[in-house]
Amino acid sequence: MPTELCHFNDIPEGESKGFTVDGLALFAVKKDAELYLYKNECPHLGVNLEWQEDQFLDLDGDLIECSMHGALFQITDGHCIAGPCQGEALQPLPWKMDDGRVYLL
């Protein structure tokens, strides 16, 4: 059963937002008008990534950053390009948009 997360416009361009659905922590990033959804779990130690509520990106907003040890992940595919889990990746989550609303599938 798809779960509604938010409206597409609730996430400003270049920003991120965290959610919890039935105990599953996840987050979304909007970049270049595209949305990317990942499980909120660092492949290094399995912790949540954000340093503060809804803050998942590095200072430039170009990469996802784990606040624990600074691993950096590409926004578009979750691939870790630097840090202790380099070569691993965040887990993307399936979602759909319907009438401007974002649903976790």
Interatomic CA distance for residues 67 and 53, integer angstroms: 12
CB-nearer residue toward ligand FES: 5 or 73 = 73
Contacting residues for 24 by C-beta, under 8 A, at least 6 apart: 39
Contacting residues for 99 by C-beta, under 8 A, at least 6 apart: none
Contact residue for ligand FES among 17, 30, 31, 44 (CB under 6 A)? 44
CA distances from 30 to 23, 80, 84, 97, 98 (A): 23, 18, 25, 13, 17
Binding mask 2-41 for ligand FES (x = CB under 6 A): ----------------------------------------
* Sites for ligand FES among residues 62-101 (CB under 6 A): 66, 68-69, 71, 83-84
Q: Which stretch binds ligand FES (CB under 6 A): 27-35, 42-50, 55-63, 97-105?
A: 42-50
